[in-house]
Amino acid sequence: MDPPWCLLGGVLGLKAHSAWRFSLLGFAVVLVIGLSAYSAFLYRWWIPLAPPALAFVLTAGLVTAYLTSLERKQRALLMQIFSKHVSKEVAESLWKQREQFLSNGRPRSQKLVMTAFFSDLRGFTTVSEKMDPQHLMDWLNIYMEKMTGIIMAHGGIIDDFAGDGIKANFGLPLPEQNESVIRKDALSAVKSALDMEREMHQLNTRWREKGLPEVGMRIGIYTGPAVAGALGGLERMKYTTIGDTINIASRLESYDKELGKEALCRILIGESTLQYLGPEFRTERIGEVSLKGKEEKITIYRVLGKEGCPSGPQKKE
């Protein structure tokens, strides 16, 4: 085969990225080859047409097929990890920015400032003891579907489920890092918590009418640095976050379970999250506390609601 035409075909294959573009550009180049051969023939020069055209088309086709297959695998990987845990818009943005996001066929690790979110049902142990497994699973799935929908609607990524607990991340996986984006993530996490409180009230009302058990919620939110990346192998991979920020958010959720027990939903945040909230939220300072596994004390606050809005519904005793 003719090396120059093979090289040109390879370049076309690299640039095409789609069957439509490949067909258009391929046809244009073959047409140029044909016109050049015909023009030379008119001047009694004979230029072989088939070898360069064949070399060009075969090389371009092979390169395009390889890249298309690679893109399909990358897209399948991203969709496998994220499609059920983020909104469609975020998943599409990930695909558009895949060159920044993927490394060696998997999401690259990145250090960034994000907001970690943990929620847990209060009273779930008692409920699980009173319901048969199938009814318990159905009951819990109703709760999970509603709450994960709220989190995703606010731009959060569902990271993990642990029984009745939900772990979510705000600020991932797109690598934007500036104060306005970090502020938006913190606000989104707190707004999600307040929306979940309202949804919890509606769920309890429906469950009460059906004679089903009612529960409350605890939520912990913390903003800070973390490492995000993929854990596991190619067959089973999970995109998650690790770091002190994640640990603190988890400890805030489980801190002093008697605190705020009278409310339907108790939302605790760290001072690093509070600084991004502004005056639209009503908060209560709990104080400097020692969290389990942490030597340093941190200042925590309780979110009571938005200014101008009544306090969240109280837990029915």
What pLDDT does residue 86 have? Answer: 59
pTM above threshold 0.75 = no
Considering only CA atoms, which of 159, 174, 172 is closest in space to residue 118? 159
Task: Respond yes or no on whether the N-terminal peptide bond of residue 225 is cis (omega within 30° of 0).
Answer: no
Task: Write out the DSSP string of 29-95.
Answer: HHHHHHHHHHHHHHTT----SHHHHHHHHHHHHHHHHHHHHHHHHHHHHHHHHHTTTS-HHHHHHHH
pLDDT digits (tens, 9 = 90+) for 36-54: 655 655 555 545 555 555 5
What was the pLDDT predicted at 6? 47
Average pLDDT over residues 300-304: 95
Whether 192 and 117 have beta carbons less than 8 Å apart is answered as: yes
**Listed range (3-7, 185-189, 194-198) with the worst mean pLDDT:** 3-7
Phi, psi for 277 (deg, rounded to 5): -80, -35
Percent of the chain with pLDDT over 90: 35
Of 265, 316, 279, 276, the C-alpha closest to 143 is 265
DSSP conformation class of 103 = E
Residue 281 clears pLDDT 80, i.e. is over it: yes
Q: Is the pLDDT of residue 204 over 80?
A: yes
**Residue 190: enclosing H or E segment and its boundaries?**
helix 179-209
Q: What's the confidence (pLDDT) of residue 271?
A: 95
> What value does the mean pLDDT take over residues 281-302?
89
Give pLDDT, residue 301. Answer: 96
How far the first Cα of the chain sits from its last, in Å, is: 83
Dist. CA 302–CA 291, nearest whole Å: 15
